[in-house]
Structure 1
Amino acid sequence: MNISVVILAAGQSLRMGRVKALLPLPLGPSGADCSALEGLARLFRGQGLTDIVVVSGYHAEAVEAEARRLDLETVRNPAPERGMFSSVCTGLSAFANRAAQGDTEALVVTPVDVPLLRPLTLMTLQAEAEKDRARSGSGAPVLIPLFSGREGHPPLIPAAYIRRILAHNGREGLRGALATLPRRVLSVADAMILEDMDRPEDYKRLQRLAPERGVLSPEEAWVLLRQRDVLPKILRHSEAVGQVAARFAERLVARREAEGRPAACDPRLAQAGGLLHDICKGLPRHELAGGELLDSLGLPRMARIVRDHLDLELPDDMPLSERELVCLADKYCAGDRLVPLERRYEEKMRHFADDKAVQAAILGRMARAQKLAERVARECACAPFAMAREVLTPAREPDRRA
């Protein structure tokens, strides 16, 4: 599907006091600073969306110079003082002929001051647009991303609606124009669709948030789990693992800070990693499938947590991180109930009583888990089972008389 992009960068930036398109954010390779405009261009091109037009207006020379450096096409709004909808119309007009010829089938429209969008949001929009086109053809709806009950950027607009939007009277801007069209909201695991930068304090907040674009919050993780239709029993287990991993992380951070060391561990990331560790449960090698899925969504740190949750060995000179805490937390959760670590492996040993090779592998995994538990106990100054018991209900002992 041929999807084009309109980036709105014509604003006066009165409240910001600086040209938003040129503000540096750590969105470049390896987290290097680049302009907000470059960050968005990298995002869209990374998803195969290369037909991009930047709408300039106020500060046109500076914005257009940056666009040329990035090899982006520009079109200038002749009357930016008329507001953002005039820039929307300028951008859509640039694609009207391409749409008539079938070269553009849909458009993503976003302001440059919402620069932290995640790849997974674009993937969701693209995939759903393909489905809608197959179902509805030219009657496909506008797609609006949604997080936590709030609509965000960017909408994906079928090109068939360009003329109707251009004919809109301007009331309530693009939102008002889209309200007159068939539309569908899509829940996405991306709070960044709501994060814009209008004022200097907003920019400072986005600078802090930018490094987190590669990981999900627990709230975002829940959205992704629901999108994947994960079974309720797996959701309950995953919630338990997330709670235990977060408790481990909280104690670890408290101990490190008490000793004057950097925390170097995030309880919310540990919780989100625990929530997602079984996202592909039911597939062969579900841990690898889950890691591959999260890698494809642009979440490599979370992919590593999921990929390694079954079994790992941490060298003594490597620090504990969320990855190890999720792995260990999983071993204390039978469903959503607390079990001693050894019982998890004893049950597996009984299940494979006739397969000595599998039993040997199970014993190896148990030894590594026990070693990890000892490390966590030492660094948290608390037994992992005791920490897990603070957040979980113990499972009943199995009836051995049966």
Structure 2
Amino acid sequence: MINDHNCSAILLAAGRSTRMGTLKAFLPWEGKSLIEYQITQLKNTGVKDLLIVTGFKHKKIAEMIQSYDVQIVWNHRFYEGKSSSIRKGIEAANAKAKGILICAVDQPVSQITLNLIIDHFKKTNAPIVVPVYQQKRGHPVLFHNNFRQELLNVNEETKGLRSILQKFSHQVSHLEVDDPNILFNLNTPNDYWSQFKKPKGES
């Protein structure tokens, strides 16, 4: 694993969860709330600089995770979209961090896969690491600190992180993982229940 302070992780949890109909952060997931599951998995990788970007229902989320050793960053412009939360997280992240792992609360991934991504970054010094399952790219994505300014400039008009991945596609290191969870995107009740009801490890 990367040594302390060499990697920051940003967990985006600022959205309204409009399509889900209830706040995603509070959904049950493997015996915890979804946001607590995510925090636990990220903390278990050894990442110390963990930032949770909140927005909608900030006080409720902050209260739920107050016992965790994380930095809570409130994005008061969350209504502008995910890119505003990415920028807010990057602004608050450790400027000396070598890598920046960007995660979303509705895209749960286990610590095993997170460790694979971080270890691959450490071993290869890759500019960008993207996990892949059965030839499909997933999440989370780990960026070298050299992309800090690019990340500070993301916006919804240019499709957020996608624009960076397209512009610097020649610098992306694709990491094959045996984990279908990297493709999860829990946007709607159907998305959630289709995954929630499956036995652990089934794709």
| TM-score, normalised via structure 1 length | 0.47
SS for the counterpart of 1:184 is strand
Could you report, residue by residue, the CA deviation over 1:204-242 in whole angstroms, capped at 9, with x for unpaired residues? 123223x514xx76xxxxxxxxxxxxxxxxxxxxxxxxx
Contact kept? 2:12, 2:105, Cα under 8 Å: yes
Written as runs of structure 1 = structure 2, the 5 A alignment for 1:3-402 is: 3-26=7-30, 33-95=31-93, 98-99=94-95, 102=96, 104-115=97-108, 117-133=109-125, 140-170=126-156, 171-181=158-168, 182-209=171-198, 211-213=199-201
SS for the counterpart of 2:52 is strand
| Inter-partner Cα distance in structure 2 for 1:168 and 1:7 | 16
Contact kept? 1:67, 1:73, Cα under 8 Å: no
Equivalent AA in structure 2 for residue 17 of structure 1: G
Contact kept? 1:54, 1:67, Cα under 8 Å: no
1:203–1:66 distance in 2 versus 1, CA, 3 Å: same
Task: Give 1 or 2 for the bigger CA radius of gyration.
Answer: 1
| Inter-partner Cα distance in structure 2 for 1:7 and 1:179 | 22
Identity %: 30
| Inter-partner Cα distance in structure 1 for 2:10 and 2:101 | 6
Contact kept? 1:11, 1:57, Cα under 8 Å: yes
| Inter-partner Cα distance in structure 2 for 1:5 and 1:47 | 10
Equivalent AA in structure 2 for residue 129 of structure 1: F
| Inter-partner Cα distance in structure 2 for 1:169 and 1:114 | 20
Equivalent AA in structure 2 for residue 161 of structure 1: F
| Inter-partner Cα distance in structure 2 for 1:142 and 1:9 | 22
Count how many residue pairs are aligned between Structure 1 and Structure 2.
Answer: 196
Equivalent AA in structure 1 for residue 99 of structure 2: A
Return 5+ residue gaps in structure 1 as ranges. Answer: 27-32, 134-139, 218-402
1:335 alignment counterpart = none
SS for the counterpart of 1:212 is coil
SS for the counterpart of 1:8 is strand
| Inter-partner Cα distance in structure 2 for 1:83 and 1:127 | 30
- CA apart distance, 1:169: 5.0
- CA apart distance, 1:59: 1.4
Return 5+ residue gaps in structure 2 as ranges. Answer: none
Could you report, residue by residue, the CA deviation over 1:298-333 in whole angstroms, capped at 9, with x for unpaired residues? xxxxxxxxxxxxxxxxxxxxxxxxxxxxxxxxxxxx
| Inter-partner Cα distance in structure 1 for 2:140 and 2:7 | 13
Equivalent AA in structure 1 for residue 166 of structure 2: A
| Inter-partner Cα distance in structure 1 for 2:163 and 2:188 | 24
SS for the counterpart of 1:69 is coil
Contact kept? 1:142, 1:183, Cα under 8 Å: yes
- CA apart distance, 1:9: 0.3
Equivalent AA in structure 1 for residue 130 of structure 2: I
Equivalent AA in structure 2 for residue 110 of structure 1: C
| Inter-partner Cα distance in structure 1 for 2:167 and 2:155 | 11
| TM-score, normalised via structure 2 length | 0.89
- CA apart distance, 1:60: 1.1
Name whichever structure is richer in helix by fraction: 1
